[in-house]
Homo-oligomer: A and B are copies of this chain.
Amino acid sequence: MTQTARGAQRRSVSAQRRVQREEQILEAAMQLFAEHGYSDTDTQLLAEKLQIGKGTIYRYFPSKRALFLAAADRVMRLMRQSIDASIQGITDPFERLGAAIRAFLGFFAEHPEYVELLIQERAQFKDRKKPTYFVHRETNIKRWQELYRSLIEAGRIRNMPVERITDVLGSALYGTMFTNYFLGERPSVEKQANDILDVVFYGILSDAERKKGS
């Protein structure tokens, strides 16, 4: 091994350690931010929880604010990964949709503290251009709209602007996530997903009423 290679490896090892340490800090920070809220979480507490010095935190994140925003970004990264993994290998479009909805609701049901973090982000950093959630939302929404478009062409979804679908369904999911968090004890993810799919797929009108409308 050459000098350079050794140097590169050494650097890479320390860079790896750094990333690990960052993740550890973010994980702990997220829990505390979710538990006590942004303002009431103090760096001292976080340092104690991590069993490290306060100064060390500042070696990895330049400010409490930056730490919080990194934690919020991490939540969205994890959500994205979770949903992507859930639809991996599924080919039927409706099944993909169902899987994604279950993954979304399941992700936040398993980690209520992530919801809290999204709320804190909005409340504390009103100035930040756009909440993390919506930055990620935009990226994903395009893919779903393409899916809906092809389903309309295939005659499986009735002809309508695809934005209508993503808007209504997206809002229902977003709203459900918050409602679940705020109300605590709630129906299973499975049931909630089925309820949403039932209404959104079939509508609530009776056959008789549907005919009147058309």
Contact = CB atoms under 8 A, between A and B. Distances in A.
Dominant secondary structure of chain A at its interface with chain B? helix
Contact of A213 (B124, B182, B201, B205): B201
Given A168-B172, A168-B196, A208-B156, A37 B182 contact: no
Contacts of A119: 119, 122-123
Interface stretch (A4-12, A50-58, A70-78, A157-165): A157-165
Contacts of A173: 171, 175
A134 B183 contact: yes
A146 interface: no
A45 to B, nearest CB: 16
Among A126, A134, A204, A209, residue most surrounded by chain B Cβ atoms (within 10 Å): A204
A37 B203 CA distance: 39
Interface string A24-64: 00000000000011110000000000000000000000000
A1 interface: no
Contacts of A124: 37, 39, 123
A95 to B, nearest CB: 13
Size category, A interface: 35 or more
A156 B203 contact: no
Contacts of A123: 37-38, 119-120, 122-124
B209 A157 contact: yes
A176 interface: yes
Interface of A: 36-39, 116, 119-120, 122-124, 126, 130-131, 133-134, 148, 155-158, 160, 164-165, 167-176, 178-179, 182-183, 192, 195-196, 198-210, 213
Closest 4 CB pairs of A and B: A175-B175, A123-B123, A203-B203, A171-B175
Given A201-B213, A202-B213, 16 more contacts: A123-B123, A134-B179, A148-B204, A158-B202, A158-B207, A160-B198, A160-B204, A167-B179, A168-B196, A168-B199, A171-B179, A174-B179, A199-B203, A201-B203, A201-B204, A203-B203
